A and B are shown apart, each in its own frame.
Chain A
Amino acid sequence: MKVRGLLWRRLPLRTRVIGAFTLGAAIAALVLVVITYGLSRQSMLQQREESSQRQFFANARQVQSSLRAENPDLTQLLESLPSLSGSRSIVRTGDETWVSLSLTPSDVPTPLISSVLEFPQAKTMRYRLDDKPVLAFGLQLQPSTASAFNEVAYFEVVPLTEVENTLESLALILLVGGALTVLVGVGIGLWASGGLLRPLTDISDAATSIAHGRFDTRLDEVKDPDLDALVTSFNEMAAAMETRITRDARFSSDVSHELRSPLMTLRASIDVMQHRREELSERTQQALDLLNDEVLRFENLVQDLLDLSRSDSGPMENDLVNIEELVKATLALSDGRIELEIANSAQGGLVMGDKRRLAQVLDNLLRNAEKYGNGATRILVSSTGTDIEIAVEDDGPGVAPSERELIFERFTRGAAARKRGTGDGAGLGLALVDEHARRHGGSAHVEGREGQPGARFVVSLPKAGHR
C-alpha cells in the first residue's frame, strides 16, 4: 500500500488529476451499471415468474379437476390449456408414464421432480433447456382414489428467452453508457487539470524567467480569489527580491565607483614614481613595489566587483562572437606556453553575446589556473551539438569534489587558494565566470582530469541561434 502510494505520488500531477477523475467516473459508472442491471433483472424475472406462476396454478387446478374423472383424456386437456408466451406442460401420471404435447420427461430436471413428489407445495426452478433459459414449475396433484395414477404431478416449463434478450440489450446499453461516463470523466479530468495546472505553469514560467535574470517578471492578476492570493504573494516575493537585488547591485556598484577616483590617483602617482625609479633608494623602491602590487590587487578587486554588479543589472552587448578568434586573441596576450586545441566541429563557432565579457571569462580562468594550478596547460574548444565548450586545463592540485560547486560562489575560495594565504584573489574571479556564462545562457563547472592530477574548468555556451 505504501509502495503504491509512493508510485502514485511519483506520477505527474496532471496524470494524477486525470487519473482521479477517470477512476471516479469508472467507479460511479460501475456501481450504477451493476445496481441498475441487478435491480432490473430481479424485477423483470420476478414479474415474469409471478405471471407465469398464476397461469401455472390456474392450469394445475384444471388438470387437478380433470383427474377427478375416472379416465381423463390428459392429452386433450393439455391441448386446451392456454399457453402463455410459449409455456409447455407435462403431466406425470405414474412412475414411467408421462403425458405431454411437446416435452419429454428428461426435459424436467430430476431434482425438481423428486422435490415436487416429496412435498405438497409448488416448486420453482430456473435452468437451461436446450441452451435456453427456462423457468419450470411443478406441483403434486391428488388423483381420485379410483384412478390408477400414482404420484401424479403437473409441470410447466416457461421460456425466459425474451427476458434474457431484454436483459442482454439492457446490459449492452448500460455498458455503453458506463464507457461514455468514463470518457466524460477523462474529459473533465483533462479540462480540470488544465485549469488547475495553468496557474502552476504560469508561475513556473515566471520563476524561470526570474531565475534567468529578468527580475521584473510578474504574474498577471487573476479574478479567482484562491489563485489571487497565490499570484499576489508571488508578485510580492518577486518585487521584494527585485528591490533587494537592485539595492545590493547598486550598493556594490556605488562603492566601486567611489573607489575608482582615488584608485586613479594612486595608479597615476605610482606610475610617475615608477618612471623615476632610479632616483629612489633601494628601500624606497621595495616599498614602491609593495605599493604597486597592492594597488594592482585593489584595482582587480574593484574591477571584479564592478563587473559583478553589472552582471546583476547591466544590459549586455549582443554580438556574434567568434569563439575561435576570441580564444586566440586572449592567448596572444598570455606568455604562449598554453597548448590550444580546437575541434573541427567548433571551428568558426559563433556565440551570441558580449565579446569583452566572454574574454573576461577566459581571462579569469587563465588567471585562476595561474594562481592555483601552476598555470593553464591546455585550452580545448569543442562543440556538442547546440553548445560550444571551452575547457581550460591545468596540472595543479585539482579541486576536491566537495568544493567543485562552492568555488563558483562569490567570496569563496577553495582549499588550494586558502593555502596560499590572503595574498591573491578575493574569490570573485570564478563567480564572474559563472555569472557571465549564465548571462549568456550557458554554464560553468570544474571537473578532474582523467587519470591525471589537475583541474579542468569547462564553460559551456549555447551557439548562436540555439539559445
Chain B
Amino acid sequence: MVKSEILKGEKETYQVNLEVFSGPLDLLLHLIERSEIDIYNIPIVEITDQFLAYVQNMEFLDLQIAADFLLMAATLMQIKARMLLPRPVLETEEEALEEEDPRVELVEKLLEYKKVKEMAAQLQTKEQEASRYFPRTGGSFADLEVAAAVEPDERVTLWDLVQAFSTLLESLLPRFELKGMPEQQYSIQDKMDEILDRLARAPRLSFHALFAEQPSKKALITSFLALLELIRMGKVFVRQERIFGEIVIARWEGKT
C-alpha cells in the first residue's frame, strides 16, 4: 500500500514501500536466469546458497520482507536435505518411477510464476501504450514519462541493485569503522531530495559515485532506501549501459 508519509513530514516513521520487490519466487527465477541454469534441473545446493546470501543482504538493509523469503529459504534447504539423503534401494522400475524428485513441486510453482511475470510484462506494455492517449476529460493520467521506455537490455533488476549495493557496502565498511564521530541523522526524505537535487544539476548520476561519498553506514543505507523509493514512485530509473558496466541513475525525461 502506498503510504504518503512523506507528506506528513514525519521523518522517523518513513517506511520504504517494498512492493518493488516481487517476492522469493522472483528472486529464485532471477538467480536461475542469471546463471543460465535449466529450470528443470536446478542445482539446488548452489541456488540455495545464493538465495540465502540475498536474504542476508536484505536483512542487513532492514527490509521487512523477511517472512516470505525465510519460508522459501526453509523450503530450499528441505529440498537440499532430501536430495542429499541416501535413497533406498529400489526393487522395481515402477518404484523408481514413483519416487518423485523433491524439486518437482518447486519447479511447477516457478513455471507458473514465470507465466505470471510474462503476463505482467504484457500488461506493462499496454499500460505504457495507453498512457499516451489523452481522453478529452481528465481521467487518470498514467505517468507520462514511462513512455520514454528504457531498452530492455539496459534494464537493471532490483536484485542487481541489491547485489551491487551489498558489494559496495562491503568495500566501504572498513572506512567507516575508523571514524568515531557522532553520526548525523538522515531521513529517507532528505536523501530522496538529495538525489533529485543532484539529478536536477546533472542528467546522470553514477550509482557508485552516489554511495561512495556517503559519510557513514547509516547515510549509505538511507540513501539506498531513498533510491528504491524514487524508483517505485517512477521519478528515477536505473540502467546499465552494458553488461557489468557502470549502473547509472537518471530521471525520467521531460519533466521538471
Report if A and B associate in a common complex. Answer: no
Query: Chain A: residues with CB nearer than 8 A to chain B?
Result: none
